[in-house]
Amino acid sequence: MTDTSPLTLDHIRAAAETLLGIADATPLVPSPYLGSRFGHPFWLKLENMQPIGAFKLRGALNAVANLPVGTRGVTCCSTGNHGRGVAYAAAEKGIRAVVCMSELVPQAKVDGIRALGAEVRIVGRSQDDAFAESRRLVEQEGLAEISPFDDPFVIAGQGTIGLEILESRAEIETLLVPLSGGGLAAGVALAAKALKPSVRVIGISMDRGAAMYESLRAGHPVEVEEYASLADSLGGGIGIDNRLSYAMCRDLLDDVVLVTEEQIYRAMQTLYYEDRIVAEGGCVVGIAALQAGKLELTGPTATIITGRNLDMSVFTRIVTGQDVVLGDTTIKGMPYGA
Ligand X SMILES: *Cc1c(COP(=O)(O)O)cnc(C)c1O
Q: Point out which residues bind ligand X (CB under 6 A).
A: 54, 56, 81, 148-149, 178-185, 233-234, 280, 282, 306-307
Question: Residue 338 Cβ, how far from ligand X at the closest point, in Å?
Answer: 27
Question: Residue 39 Cβ, how far from ligand X at the closest point, in Å?
Answer: 26
**Between 162 and 178, CB nearer to ligand X:** 178
35 CB-near residues (< 8 Å, 6+ apart): 41, 42
Q: Are strands 301-305 and 255-259 parallel, antiparallel or unpaired?
A: unpaired
Q: CA-to-CA distance for 30 and 290, rounded, in angstroms? A: 16
List C-alpha distances in Å: 172 to 44, 145, 255.
12, 36, 17
**Between 41 and 237, CB nearer to ligand X:** 237
Question: Residue 70 Cβ, how far from ligand X at the closest point, in Å?
Answer: 28
**Between 106 and 321, CB nearer to ligand X:** 106
**Between 41 and 181, CB nearer to ligand X:** 181
**Between 107 and 198, CB nearer to ligand X:** 107
Question: Residue 321 Cβ, how far from ligand X at the closest point, in Å?
Answer: 24
The answer to whether residues 206 and 176 touch, using CB atoms and an 8 Å cutoff, is no
Question: Residue 159 Cβ, how far from ligand X at the closest point, in Å?
Answer: 11
Q: Are strands 329-331 and 324-326 parallel, antiparallel or unpaired?
A: antiparallel
Q: CA-to-CA distance for 107 and 116, rounded, in angstroms? A: 15
Q: Which helix (H) or strand (E) holds 301?
A: strand 301-305
